[in-house]
Chains A and B, each alone.
Chain A
Amino acid sequence: MNYINAHFVANTDSHNSLIKMAPMKLYGWAVSPWMARVLVCLEEAGAEYELVPMSRSGGDHRQPEHLARNPFGEIPVLEDGDLTLYQSRAIARHILRKYKPELLRSDNLQESAMVDVWVDVDAHQLEPIIRPVVFNVIIKPFTGSDCDQDLVDGSIEKLKKTLEVYEARLSSSKYLAGDFVSLADLTHFSFMRYFMATQYAEVVEAYPHVKAWWEALLARPSVKKVMAGMPPDFGFGSGNIP
Chain B
Amino acid sequence: MVLTSCCTPLARRQIDTHPDPSHAFSQHQLREMAPVKVFGPAMSTNVARVLVFLEEVGAEYEVVDMDFKVMEHKSPEHLARNPFGQIPAFQDGDLLLFESRAISKYVLRKYKTGEVDLLREGNLKEAAMVDVWTEVDAHTYNPALSPIVYQCLFNPMMRGIPTDEKVVAESLEKLKKVLEVYEARLSQHEYLAGDFVSFADLNHFPYTFYFMATPHAALFDSYPHVKAWWERIMARPAIKKISATMVPPKA
**Residue ranges of A at the interface with B (Cβ–Cβ < 8 Å):** 71-72, 83, 85-87, 89-90, 93-94, 97-98, 106, 109-110, 112-114, 116-117, 119-121, 123-125, 162, 165, 168-169
CB pair B124–A94 under 8 Å, yes or no, is yes
Given A87-B139, A116-B105, A117-B97, 20 more A-B residue pairs with CB atoms under 8 Å apart are: A71-B184, A72-B136, A83-B125, A89-B131, A90-B128, A90-B132, A90-B134, A90-B135, A93-B128, A93-B131, A94-B124, A94-B131, A97-B121, A109-B106, A116-B99, A120-B99, A120-B101, A121-B99, A123-B138, A169-B83
The answer to whether A85 and B109 touch (CB under 8 A), given A109-B24, A120-B102, A165-B83, is no
Q: Shortest distance in angstroms between A149's beta carbon and chain B's nearest beta carbon?
A: 23
In the complex, A226 Cα to B110 Cα: how many Å?
36
CB pair A116–B106 under 8 Å, yes or no, is yes
Q: Shortest distance in angstroms between A42's beta carbon and chain B's nearest beta carbon?
A: 15
5 shortest interchain CB distances as A-B pairs: A87-B135, A116-B102, A90-B131, A120-B99, A113-B106
Q: List 5 A-B contacts (CB under 8 A).
A: A85-B131, A87-B136, A90-B134, A113-B106, A120-B99
In the complex, A56 Cα to B103 Cα: how many Å?
36
Tell me which residues from 101 to 152 in chain B have a Cβ below 8 Å from any Cβ of chain A: 101-103, 105-106, 109-110, 121, 124-125, 127-129, 131-132, 134-136, 138-140
In the complex, A116 Cα to B104 Cα: how many Å?
10
Tell me which residues from 1 to 32 in chain B have a Cβ below 8 Å from any Cβ of chain A: 24
Which of A87, A94, A117 is B102 in contact with, Cβ under 8 Å? A117
Interface residues on B, range: 20 to 34
In the complex, A193 Cα to B84 Cα: how many Å?
24
CB pair B121–A89 under 8 Å, yes or no, is no
- Minimal Cβ-Cβ distance residue in A for B131: A90
CB pair B181–A72 under 8 Å, yes or no, is yes
CB pair A109–B121 under 8 Å, yes or no, is no
Cβ contacts B79-91/A at 8 Å (1 or 0 each): 0000110000000
Contacts of A119 in B (CB 8 A): 102
- Minimal Cβ-Cβ distance residue in A for B177: A72
In the complex, A117 Cα to B184 Cα: how many Å?
32
In the complex, A129 Cα to B105 Cα: how many Å?
25
Which of B83, B97, B124, B140 is A72 in contact with, Cβ under 8 Å? B140
In the complex, A97 Cα to B132 Cα: how many Å?
14
In the complex, A110 Cα to B24 Cα: how many Å?
11
**B98 close to chain A: CB less than 8 A:** yes
Contacts of B185 in A (CB 8 A): 71
**B244 close to chain A: CB less than 8 A:** no
CB pair B95–A113 under 8 Å, yes or no, is yes
CB pair B99–A97 under 8 Å, yes or no, is no
CB pair A97–B127 under 8 Å, yes or no, is yes
In the complex, A72 Cα to B141 Cα: how many Å?
11
In the complex, A164 Cα to B134 Cα: how many Å?
29
CB pair B121–A71 under 8 Å, yes or no, is no
Which of B84, B98, B128 is A83 in contact with, Cβ under 8 Å? B128
